[in-house]
A = this chain, B = another copy of it.
């Protein structure tokens, strides 16, 4: 398959700059230059892609699957600090050591770019930096919302918030769905949810059960979550519901 083929047949789904379907200024020759320095890697669930402190000579974009960034204290307490879904970017141009553990939550396919050439390309292609800045600012916003969750929300609100975030993200992928009704796969174990929310897995389990028994959510098998009334779920998050951006 020619490089050209790859780029356009897949709608450049592995170009980190295009991934979120925003950068309309991606020129074909710039994409080609990206093609030259990229390669794929796949990982199985549970596998750690990078350890905190490791040398990291690539940056990458998640093509499929879910991965997490975690920080761990000496005594084993761990906190998830990033959840990577398809189209998310990993790695940091200009730094050669990873700051967090990166672990596959489900099987993951990454599209990697060798770091040095990627940095060179960034120098020559200004709007890649602009796009990356935009994505990083989005991540920073998400991190700050997450901080409010960690610092001030109750266990119940935390669970509801996590479900709302996942549901919203799911909905944005496939916007066609019944009004207010959302169903999605939650790819996280109770323990991973606990690490996300700064709780213990027992508390997560109890609160999920409680939301289920009150009809806010329905469980479908192991990982399926069904939200009959999204607005109802939002009420449980403690967030401003009339903030406009409902979904």
A contact residues vs B (CB 8 Å cutoff): 69, 71, 73-75, 77-79, 81-82, 92-95, 99-100, 122-123, 126, 129-130, 132-134, 136-137, 139-141, 143-148, 150-152, 197-198, 238-240
Contacts and interface: CB of A to CB of B under 8 A. Distances in A.
Given A92-B137, A126-B129, A140-B140, A148 B81 contact: yes
Contacts of A150: 147, 150-151, 198
Contacts of A134: 94
B122 A130 contact: yes
A183 to B, nearest CB: 28
A123 B129 CA distance: 10
A5 B64 CA distance: 54
Contacts of A151: 79, 150, 197-198
A92 B134 CA distance: 9
> Which 6 A-B residue pairs are closest in the complex by CB-CB distance?
A151-B198, A126-B126, A150-B150, A81-B144, A143-B143, A79-B151
Given A71-B148, A82-B144, A136-B140, 4 more contacts: A73-B240, A77-B152, A81-B148, A143-B144
Contacts of A74: 238, 240
Nearest to A143: B143
Nearest to A95: B137
A73 B144 contact: no
A148 to B, nearest CB: 4
A152 B94 CA distance: 29
Nearest to A133: B133
20 contacts: A69-B144, A73-B148, A73-B152, A73-B239, A73-B240, A74-B238, A74-B240, A77-B152, A77-B238, A81-B144, A82-B144, A100-B144, A122-B130, A123-B126, A123-B130, A126-B126, A133-B133, A150-B198, A151-B197, A151-B198
